[in-house]
Structure 1
């Protein structure tokens, strides 16, 4: 093959590659501009009226307005979120089925169930982080326990009698309480309850010393004086709440709930980026920030790659917790 022919072929190949790249970019851009052309399903692995459902519906309403298409919330509660998460993992990766996923369903369920029916690493991809949602540890105000130090002293002085409420076994509040118990060497026994309201009733009834839950579910009882807030589980104190952190007593401790929009793996990048941009714009609008803060949620503005990194970091934390606590998959 002579030199002139080789140069001609090289130019043709480069031209073909450039054309392919240009067409791909054009088609990707066109996809992002045209999507969505029909309603979008938002799977929520929790029941109607639960915190994830309330926030998902609030976001879905705003996204419907932005997209000019309906956003239909599909509640799939039960079994640690497996019905919802597995349905999401099996959905078409065209952007028309998304998940509104709480921390526990994404990172704890795959660790504590032998057959979770989905693999977050291969079946799913993070699209956007709605926000973080710290927990709060509370005691009955009539107990005389006003600080974590009080709780630890009482528990150590009453070995075998001290206990705490675990709302929903293997939930994030349960594991957060177990870790406080462990790092504080308190020796308390976890008493399982089926749901946070039942755990709260047990605490108010004097059946347990302490429970842990999201701020929205407890703040009313804290403000009324029936509950004493011992600590929040975030790394820093929260604005507007004069409550110390667990880390102030036990350095390095942090446990945060969070919510993400998650899509089936393979969802087109252009669609993911559009959803991410629209979600970030909505959740960081001043009125939305206020509404989310009132529910104990603090918005973020993660790019898709940052959202994926955040998910991976939370997986790492939960794997260590489950290992440290000796929890066996059931």
Structure 2
């Protein structure tokens, strides 16, 4: 018989407590500061969003919310740290889409299993991506891109921001959907990929809306598609799905907790975050970062995670991405 680990005993103890008195647990919680693990570096866009939400949660809870940045290796230090934390509500994670659903697929030893170790509590918002080309390019649409790529097989460079990132996979997905056979050039960071397109070294790249808008407004880049299922408010750019039905590749952010966290605490987190992201002030601040708030229940947040997880598994398998 395999010995029972200390972690599983801890989870079992919390499940027992939850069964006995979850309302009391949630009513008393939190009585001390809450740590929010963010698996990216300080100053990055996800970190900024996490701090906006954390600041509001601290006010709501009357306790500090301490942001704990743990960047590197596809978010593994942060995600594995979250997975190993006590399921007591005093450690939560602010998780971007890639770390939750792509990292477990593209690393041989991610050191955490999202199905067993983690539990989504609430979706903070979604973050669509945009495909851009140089404004001097003759490519005006997704159809133009496909036509150009097919006329120059293997010669249309796609500047991929970070290997196996969501923008990278989103671009590969476009190439596959249109039978374009684009030549992928991986860059270390999204700004480097954008710089390559601006310099004319690449035909296109994919990135988040906020980082691309200034270049669009300056007239240096042209957007030819957004990766969400619907067009974005205030941005007159067709969706990729209008050319390739069924296409969708979105970023998102969720508050995720260690598996076994008492359900009453998870429900409390869900309700408080939903109230925060429904406030006009937070909606305005997030919109500046290209984030569209999304209020959902705990069950809906978990269903959304599973749906996105399935989509990423399908995509990684379709593209033949090998774990590193």
Per the TM superposition, whether the score is higher than 0.5 is yes
Output aligned runs, 1:110-121, within 5 Å: 110-121=104-115
Whether 2:303 is the aligned partner of 1:309: answer: yes
| Cα deviation code 1:193-228 (max 9, x no counterpart) | 011011111111111000001111111111111100
- Bigger radius of gyration among the two: 1
Whether 2:175 is the aligned partner of 1:181: answer: yes
| 4+ residue segments displaced more than 2 Å | 23-27
* C-alpha distance 269-321 of structure 1, shift in aligned 2 (>3 A): same
The two structures have a TM-score, normalised by structure 2, of: 0.93
Output aligned runs, 1:1-330, within 5 Å: 27-330=21-324
Distance 1:100 1:197 in 2: 23
Distance 1:81 1:160 in 2: 32
| Cα deviation code 1:70-113 (max 9, x no counterpart) | 11111111111111100100111101111100001000110111
RMSD, matched Cα: 1.2
Q: Using the TM superposition, name which of 153-162 and 203-212 deviates more.
A: 153-162
- State the number of aligned residues: 308
TM-fit CA distance, 1:25: 7.4
The two structures have a TM-score, normalised by structure 1, of: 0.91
**Are the equivalent residues in 1 in contact too, given 2:18–2:263 (CA < 8 A)?**
no
TM-fit CA distance, 1:137: 0.3
**Are the equivalent residues in 1 in contact too, given 2:150–2:181 (CA < 8 A)?**
yes
The answer for unaligned runs of 5 or more in structure 2 is 1-16
SS at match of 1:56: helix
The answer for unaligned runs of 5 or more in structure 1 is 1-22
**Are the equivalent residues in 1 in contact too, given 2:162–2:190 (CA < 8 A)?**
yes
SS at match of 2:124: strand
SS at match of 2:110: coil
